[in-house]
Amino acid sequence: MHFRRIPRPFLLAAILFTCGTTNAAQPTPPRFSVALMDTNTSPRVDFAKYAFGKWLQDNPIPSDKSRWGGFDELAQFNWAALKDILETTAGTLNPPGSVDQKVGDFFASAIDQPAIDAASLKPVEARLKQIDGLRSVADMAGILATLHNEGGGACFGVGVSADQKKSDVNALYASQGGLSLPSRDYYFGDAFAKQRSEFVAHVGRMLTLAGDTPEAAARAATNVFELEKALATNAKTPVELRDRVANYNKMATSALAAMVPALPFEQYFRDRGITGPAASEIIVGQPRFFEGLQQALTNRPLSDWKTYLRYKTLNDAAPALANPFEEENFRFYGTVLRGTPKMEPRWQRAARMVDGGIGEALGKLYVDRYYPPEAKARMDEMISNIKTVMRERLQKLDWMTEPTRQKALAKFDRFVARIGHPDRFRDYSSVAIRRDDLFSNLRAATEFEVKRNLAKLGKPVDKSEWGMTPPTVNAYFQPTANQIVFPAGILQPPFFDFTLDDAVNYGAIGGVIGHEITHGFDDQGRRYDADGNLADWWTPADAEQFTGRATALIQQYNAYNALPGLNVNGALSLGENIADLGGTSIAFEALQRSLKGKKVALIDGMTPEQRFFLSWAQQWRTNFREDALRRQVAVGPHSPGMFRAIGPIGNMPEFFEAFGIRESDPMWRKPESRVKIW
């Protein structure tokens, strides 16, 4: 059982890289401040250090996290608010079935470590016994259906989302999956040899905790790795997975079954409740992976598959099992892969479980208590100003021809912004939450979400549905709905600060707004038309013009050195880099328009232009652990924060003018090397 919120596929991008945890110390609201700057460093030499060098020096990474930055500071502030809500509801006698009862009892069960430890392995014993009783590879269809209905991630994934070529209807998708390491690249080559060795040791420890002898567990762990490596051979890389067109392969469901005859997919779909006319077709993301799955099912003995399924069951359930299982799970996935020395405190791990399980119930309590209604009005105003700039740019863009321009404008005119929280919060009345059983609560919440997802098949898409919970410090663009979404959690300092000047707000939340709008026209977003469908609406000449500019941006980020011998992957991070580039440029112009005709005074001795660029940079301040940074570069779609701080603004002539940067300065970028797309 994999205890997590079932993700909405095809959220094209979110503003934040998402691999951190939060700090248990008492938080303070993080704000833009000149106190974060290293004024001994010239902005003409190292703008990132100038903008937030003092903060980097004064903020070592807390022991329970893999990185620490501006997003993490605000997330910590929000977790503290959620802790107060959770402890209050857990300590109150609430009406049975109410939102408060479900949230409070869920949290109470998640912080009851003695009860969790006393249950030991009992929550998964029946599932492990079922796996042990498999008589053939074909029998795996039933157990995979069960595991997937419980949220598990073994072998592959099947779920429902908007059909990317008919975005008003929900379709069935199948995708590669079942790998325990972050990506295909971790299974091959020298760069991740340590992680592979540690993974084998980790699997052995988990199996030993489950009752195997150390010797048998060690042998079995090697077989698990070899099996996953066989699956990884035909898996796509993170860069390849970005290509929406290449990962859209609609076929008859029977054709997928024919790819993998060793596994009776008819039984799998039946056991998952996936039936009816809409289930006759499926969109297969990576056909070659399923061809490779057939080879692995044929070539690997049943005993290896049993061990693999046992490990996946233990791993997915580890956060809800006795402490030794949770600690070993964290040792590998937290310490080895991300370099994090310690787990978060129990209350925070528990809060994450509630947010992941019944997040919109918790989110409603958060919104009721902490979200100021005036925030939406102010956001609507900023979004309107930034939209005006973007629309005028589309009208005047010198490299785009008229046929493409008209379709771009039609798309832009139909995009929607959603702010704060859903209009209707999710109804969890059918989810039974008990105060004394964390495992059953997590299973109930996860099964509810899986069932809710599958029930959408063939039905109209509800474009008002949200893919993030309200307290989340993040934002995203949803291409099939042609909408940008800003949860309440991010509408606070340092991104959105009522107490500070327009320059700071346009540099922070304005840049984020522009970022999400630009995602509709990044290298993948541009493939979707005004209706949110994958369609080629570009003339060949315009597509070539766009590709040339995007290639130049790839080369720019490829040159950034994250660690000795490790450069940023400009192709993997291209969509986010395009969005950052467009977002900063559009927000800057919107600021200039807002200042027109006003008497502008220096603040902290700085012009509005200088404060804009400082505000943009400061929100990306980040200290990384080395393992986490390597993982970010390998699999993350976002460039590390220090390069997001300087990358886009290094293409803007206004940045060089604001700080007097000249050709002889290290921060200088030649005009012919600067990239402008939108």
Tens digit of each residue's pLDDT (9 = 90 or more) over 615-669: 999 999 999 999 999 999 999 999 999 999 999 999 999 999 999 999 999 999 9
Q: Which residues lie closer than 8 Å to 643 by C-beta, 6 or more apart? A: 557, 560, 562, 568
The confidence score (pLDDT) of residue 211 equals 97
Confidence of residue 15 (pLDDT cuts 50, 70, 90): low
CATH number 1.10.1380.10 is the correct assignment for the domain at 130-321: yes
Angle, CA 625 vertex, CA 66 and CA 110 arms, to 5°: 15
Residue 462: pLDDT over 50: yes
Confidence of residue 11 (pLDDT cuts 50, 70, 90): very low
The confidence score (pLDDT) of residue 434 equals 97
The structure tokens 């990317």 sit at 164
Tell whether omega for the bond before 471 is within 30 degrees of 0, i.e. cis: no
Q: Which CATH class is domain 373-415+482-678?
A: alpha beta
* Mean residue pLDDT across the chain: 95
Amino acid at site 546: F
Alpha-carbon separation of residue 104 from 141, 347, 428 (angstroms): 37, 12, 14
The secondary structure element, H or E, covering residue 545 is helix 540-558
Are the CB atoms for 3 and 350 separated by under 8 Å? no
Confidence of residue 20 (pLDDT cuts 50, 70, 90): very low
Confidence of residue 5 (pLDDT cuts 50, 70, 90): very low
Average pLDDT rounded to a whole number, residues 339-347: 98
Rounded distance between C-alpha atoms, residue 82 and residue 76, angstroms: 10
Average pLDDT rounded to a whole number, residues 88-109: 97
Are the CB atoms for 614 and 547 separated by under 8 Å? no
Confidence of residue 4 (pLDDT cuts 50, 70, 90): very low
Amino acid at site 103: V
Average pLDDT rounded to a whole number, residues 154-173: 98
Mode of pairing for the β-strands spanning 476-478 and 13-14: antiparallel
Percent of the chain at pLDDT > 70 equals 96
Mode of pairing for the β-strands spanning 156-163 and 566-567: unpaired
Indicate the domain borders of the chain: 130-321, 373-415+482-678
Rounded distance between C-alpha atoms, residue 125 and residue 103, angstroms: 27
Q: Which residues lie closer than 8 Å to 317 by C-beta, 6 or more apart? A: 1, 3, 123, 124, 325, 439
Are the CB atoms for 85 and 365 separated by under 8 Å? yes
Rounded distance between C-alpha atoms, residue 541 and residue 391, angstroms: 21
- HEC-encoded secondary structure of 140-154: HHHHHHHHHHCCCCC
User: Which tokens sit at 451?
Assistant: 């069932």
The confidence score (pLDDT) of residue 2 equals 39
Tens digit of each residue's pLDDT (9 = 90 or more) over 106-135: 999 999 999 999 999 999 999 999 999 999
Amino acid at site 33: S
Tens digit of each residue's pLDDT (9 = 90 or more) over 525-561: 999 999 999 999 999 999 999 999 999 999 999 999 9
Taking residue 249's Cβ as centre, other Cβ atoms within 10 Å add up to: 15
Average pLDDT rounded to a whole number, residues 81-99: 97
Alpha-carbon separation of residue 77 from 121, 470, 488 (angstroms): 35, 14, 13
Full-model pTM: 0.94
Phi first, then psi, for residue 641 (nearest 5°) are -55, -40
Question: Facing residues of 563 across strands?
Answer: 566
Average pLDDT rounded to a whole number, residues 432-461: 98
User: Which tokens sit at 537?
Assistant: 């609406």
The confidence score (pLDDT) of residue 27 equals 58
Q: Which residues lie closer than 8 Å to 4 by C-beta, 6 or more apart? A: 151, 356, 446
Average pLDDT rounded to a whole number, residues 274-282: 97
Taking residue 9's Cβ as centre, other Cβ atoms within 10 Å add up to: 18
Average pLDDT rounded to a whole number, residues 346-363: 98
Average pLDDT rounded to a whole number, residues 202-231: 98
The confidence score (pLDDT) of residue 6 equals 37
Rounded distance between C-alpha atoms, residue 454 and residue 272, angstroms: 9
Greatest Cα-to-Cα distance within the chain, rounded to the nearest angstrom? 80
Same fold, 130-321 and 373-415+482-678: no
The structure tokens 């590998």 sit at 332
Tens digit of each residue's pLDDT (9 = 90 or more) over 384-428: 999 999 999 999 999 999 999 999 999 999 999 999 999 999 999
Rounded distance between C-alpha atoms, residue 568 and residue 554, angstroms: 9
Are the CB atoms for 537 and 520 separated by under 8 Å? no
Helix or strand or coil: residue 440? helix
- Which of 307, 291, 314, 319 is CA-nearest to residue 113? 319
Residue 21: pLDDT over 50: no
Q: Is 604 left (phi over 0), alpha (psi -120 to 50) or beta?
A: left
- Which of 546, 475, 547, 481 is CA-nearest to residue 515? 475
User: Which tokens sit at 197?
Assistant: 């060795």
The secondary structure element, H or E, covering residue 476 is strand 476-478
- Which of 246, 288, 47, 271 is CA-nearest to residue 148? 271
Burial class (CB in 10 A: 0-12, 13-18, 19+), 607: middle
Residue 26: pLDDT over 80: no
The confidence score (pLDDT) of residue 17 equals 38
Tens digit of each residue's pLDDT (9 = 90 or more) over 291-330: 999 999 999 999 999 999 999 999 999 999 999 999 999 9
- Which of 547, 575, 563 is CA-nearest to residue 644? 575
Phi first, then psi, for residue 613 (nearest 5°) are -70, -35
